[in-house]
Chains A and B, each alone.
Chain A
């Protein structure tokens, strides 16, 4: 009887899929090592995201060993071979224990932060949407190499971006995402009425007049709050008095930033000063921006600052990000009329950690460029990682408990081991195949998917009950076993069809996609693989 079973291709298909699924899941019952999930920008550890670290200096590692300080030359055993590094402090990486399988679990299990972002764009504007996505992706990448997932989500006519990050804090992410990142440098100009000279000199001379609170330059009259451009420099009229006017000039914006310096000790540093920490970094400006600076400063008088013993220009350079003043720089007297190619941005923070974070945030925002539009955070969720082993144990136990509970019901009903064992085996194989298929499909198992899997154990067995009941009914002599199984398949197809029908509306519904896909996949595997195989078994044991 048993050998006869092997003649059926349906059985072979089931066996093939189970083997394939197990191969894909590649269970590992004694996982060793840790996986790198975060690598700081300034980390010198010779590993990258996704690498597996087995040992440091020949000893097996735990997650605690990673956060320790190391000095001198160390050897790191990784899945890419032995690596050597000279360390001076922490490794600057975050890790998680290696998982038992290749299965990928969702953020609600692994922990992390999820944000859903809505860029303020019109419905058909795909180009801007792409640009926003790329900028945000760059920012997160630049901030610290984290394992992240950034996907566009379309809900009705809304275009949203869903960002999931392992580790980090909500505040950090909010800072990175919410900043539009518009960088502007401003220099105020004071224009006075002078007897012999009432002009400013940029690429050429522009004459102005101020009288009775009216101001005109280059023959055009402006009011307070008006903006205009001269020699490619944007200017705003701030105040018009009887004999002077205040003008704000904009020598450069985000578009003029060519490079933000990291790492180069001459161009970026943090040092203790008066009980706090001063940090600075330089940015490289475009030639046009540098030229604008030269034009503007030509018109600013030089003053000798007695306390510093140095010449300074009368106006300062004010730097803004998203309309917030982040720095004001005194301009040295010898820069008057000179091109400024690499201004530096300075700041103070109370602690070294704050200084590092603050500097890094600005560097990242400047480097990734400004977002073309405003963005709104419409959803933000911070999930602590579930204690991995603890949670997995509970899920595994849930699955086993579900199987055990189902077995008890089956045992009460059928009382024959030859029926019970195939039912349980086929039911479990369904779960294994679904899990296995999740890997090549590249989908992460979230909590809802796991719920669907457990529900499938309960309801998947339903079809087998239908098959078995149809097969073992004795009263209808006029129906052959084949006809009975045919009728059973009619029921199974009908029942499966209704489940798929109910799940289809959820496939396009962001958060519940995993649940819907898992359920539909479970039903399809049932209809095309496990039920036909179980039908073959029934034909031989009923």
Chain B
């Protein structure tokens, strides 16, 4: 493969490319804002965060269509995550009766039930929001302590925010609900998404001698390998584990890492390139 074409393209159009992810970020924020206004929360929440009852049937088999289930149990909301069928119910529903109905319909698999009280789930939801915000603030502090310069630090934090917000918007389009495993994955994403940015920023700020595009290329080689390794491990986890919790976590991290690549190598790299050029000009002039 000839990477020179990419390299030339990249080196020539880095300025407009910087804005690509910023536009995506803006679109994502609009989607999330719309969700918040229309539905009261940025992502649809799972039973753990709204309260109610849930029957999940792992490794389910059901030959008739899912609409057969909604016909038989009109109050239920039915969805599928990986190989797991999830039936959400009100907190007043009788889950044993509904489980019986499902079994009568011929839904086979491993049944488990869950009940979460409404006030308890409210508390969990409040803590979940605090956790995301706190995690983001703590991450930002670490970045500032690490680089101690304003523009590069802000660029890394912006990139982290892009990863989280764009991923959340994609999850909302995919109709993935915010559950506790999804929350855990989003927080993990806050931590891991900036890894590649740290590699990039360190390379640019702490290496003397080489030109800026050369430094970005070196950082990119390392960074892309890192992301690929993480993606490889998570994809393996998604397909081999066959477990809904592990699959949810893998989904969020895979989406996040895919977003992280353009966010790091287009936006963050673009901002740093502009910053480095300006600094060199200042030093020269």
Contact = CB atoms under 8 A, between A and B. Distances in A.
Interface of A: 108, 116, 118, 155-156, 158, 160, 170, 376-384, 386, 391, 394-395, 397-398, 401-406, 408-410, 413, 447-448, 450-452, 454-455, 457-459, 461-462, 465-466, 469, 473, 475-476, 478, 487, 490-491, 494-495, 497-506, 509, 511-512, 515-516, 519
A328 B192 CA distance: 67
B117 interface: yes
A93 B151 CA distance: 66
B237 interface: yes
A386 B221 CA distance: 42
B117 A379 contact: yes
Given A156-B127, A499-B192, A395 B241 contact: yes
B249 interface: yes
A382 B146 contact: no
B112 A383 contact: yes
Contact of B188 (A398, A402, A475, A499): A499
B194 A498 contact: yes
Contacts of B136: 502
A381 B114 contact: yes
Contacts of B70: none
24 contacts: A158-B123, A170-B113, A378-B117, A382-B112, A398-B236, A410-B225, A413-B225, A447-B245, A450-B246, A451-B184, A451-B250, A454-B234, A458-B231, A459-B229, A462-B230, A494-B143, A501-B135, A502-B135, A502-B187, A505-B130, A505-B131, A506-B184, A512-B180, A519-B191
B195 interface: yes
A495 B194 contact: yes
Contact of B187 (A116, A158, A506): A506
Contact of B135 (A170, A403, A505, A511): A505
A398 B240 contact: yes
Interface residues of B, number: 73
Nearest to A499: B191
Nearest to B109: A384
Given A457-B233, A458-B232, A502-B188, A379 B123 contact: no
Contacts of B117: 118, 376-379
B161 to A, nearest CB: 13
Interface in B196-215: 198-199, 202, 206-210
Contacts, number: 228
A490 B230 CA distance: 21
Given A377-B117, A498-B191, 4 more contacts: A462-B195, A465-B225, A475-B210, A498-B139
A118 B249 CA distance: 29
Given A451-B181, A451-B237, A512-B184, A501 B139 contact: yes
A501 B183 contact: no
B61 to A, nearest CB: 15
A152 to B, nearest CB: 15
A487 B240 contact: no
Nearest to A514: B184
Contacts of B278: none
Main secondary structure of the interface of B (DSSP, over half): helix
B66 interface: no
Contacts of B232: 402, 405-406, 408-409, 458
A361 B250 CA distance: 44
Contact of A501 (B124, B128, B141): B141
B74 to A, nearest CB: 24
A448 B181 contact: yes
Contacts of B146: 494, 497
B88 to A, nearest CB: 14
Given A405-B236, A459-B195, A519 B110 contact: no
A283 to B, nearest CB: 33
Contacts of B184: 448, 451, 506, 512, 515-516
A451 B242 contact: no
B233 A465 contact: no
A499 B196 CA distance: 12
Nearest to A158: B123
Given A406-B229, A455-B249, A499-B188, A394 B240 contact: yes
A409 B225 contact: yes
B243 interface: yes
